[in-house]
């Protein structure tokens, strides 16, 4: 029996600007993910800093926040067996240039540009996924994240 796990995926502003959002969502679905919820939004500087709080103080942090606030993005709740690990596998290495060398068919190789502008985000653990889903989808009750009614609840969004 397979268990549905959820992860938070982002289509970052570079890929949205390039008009690749739909293609990335289609690839996600072809790779077995259910698109349980999605929304488009623009992050403020404060919200971007909060989302990436773990990286505060690192040299790339200001550039990362500038990039993440540079235009609209898509936030997605993705469901699949082993979703956290599978989505990170589909995205590939963090740096898009490395990704092109090591995993040319991954999302970051196909749609990203460099070390910062890398097209997609995925939660790094199920604890992060719960936190990040709540960050982007506060209107979804935590209860809606578990159990058989979850899909129906999400799809009403």
Closest CA to 117 of 12, 38, 35, 43: 12
- Residue 116 within binding range of ligand GDP, rule CB under 6 A: yes
The single residue among 94, 98, 130, 151 that binds ligand GDP, judged by CB under 6 A, is 94
Candidates 18-26, 77-85, 99-107, 110-118: pick the segment binding ligand GDP (CB under 6 A).
110-118
Tokens of 40: 């488009």
Q: Could you give the residue ranges of the DSSP H alpha helices within 12-114? A: 13-17, 21-30, 45-51, 61-68, 83-91, 96-102, 107-111
Candidates 44-52, 102-110, 124-132, 137-145: pick the segment binding Mg ion (CB under 5 A).
124-132
Q: How far apart are CA 101 and CA 89, in angstroms?
A: 15
Q: Is 4 helix (H, G, I), strand (E, B) or coil?
A: coil
Q: Out of ligand GDP, Mg ion, none, which partner does residue 116 contact, by CB within 5 to 8 A per kind? A: ligand GDP
Element (H, E) at 121: strand 120-122
Candidates 16-24, 43-51, 122-130, 142-150: pick the segment binding Mg ion (CB under 5 A).
122-130
- Residue 71 within binding range of ligand GDP, rule CB under 6 A: no
- Give contact residues for ligand GDP (rule: CB under 6 A): 55, 60, 63-64, 94, 115-116, 118, 121, 124
Binding-site residue numbers for ATP are 12, 60, 88, 94, 108, 118
């Amino acid at each position: 029996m397979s268990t549905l796990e959820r992860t938070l995926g982002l289509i970052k502003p570079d890929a949205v600007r390039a008009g690749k959002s739909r293609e990335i969502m289609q690839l996600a679905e072809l790779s077995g993910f259910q698109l349980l919820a999605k929304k488009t939004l623009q992050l403020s500087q404060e919200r971007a800093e909060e989302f990436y709080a773990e990286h505060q103080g690192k040299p790339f942090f200001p550039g990362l926040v500038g990039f993440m606030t540079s235009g609209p993005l898509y936030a997605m709740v993705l469901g699949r067996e082993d979703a956290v690990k599978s989505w990170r596998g589909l995205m590939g290495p963090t740096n898009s240039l490395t990704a092109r060398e090591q995993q040319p068919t991954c999302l970051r190789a196909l749609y990203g540009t460099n070390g910062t502008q890398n097209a997609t985000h995925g939660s790094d653990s199920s604890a992060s996924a719960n936190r990040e889903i709540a960050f982007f989808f506060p209107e979804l009750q935590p209860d809606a994240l578990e159990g058989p009614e979850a899909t129906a609840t999400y799809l009403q969004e």
